[in-house]
Amino acid sequence: MAMKRKAAKKKVAKKKVAKKKAARRPAKKKAAAMEMLLVGSKVKAALRSQNVNVSADSAEALNQVVYWYIDQAAKRASANGRKTVRPYDFVVG
């Protein structure tokens, strides 16, 4: 009888551990979603300081622009035979 209780407790303990591990795993992101690189409140504050209204998705659009700049800078560095992105790789023109 005591053996059955121990086995049952182990089984319950294993389920709890599995639930905790599952809770710690980050949810899978959609392929189209990009990780936010910007602080939304800072973006909104900077835009509001220019006396304009800010839509809820403006930070997401700016985030896409930042990803584009990063991509362009990486390509520019690679085209110049470097693996290091330098500040002038971000300058346009």
Type of residue found at 17: V
Residue 46 pLDDT greater than 80, yes or no: yes
Give the pLDDT score at 91: 84
Span 82-93, average pLDDT = 90
Average pLDDT, the chain: 83
pLDDT in tens, 69-81: 999 999 999 999 9
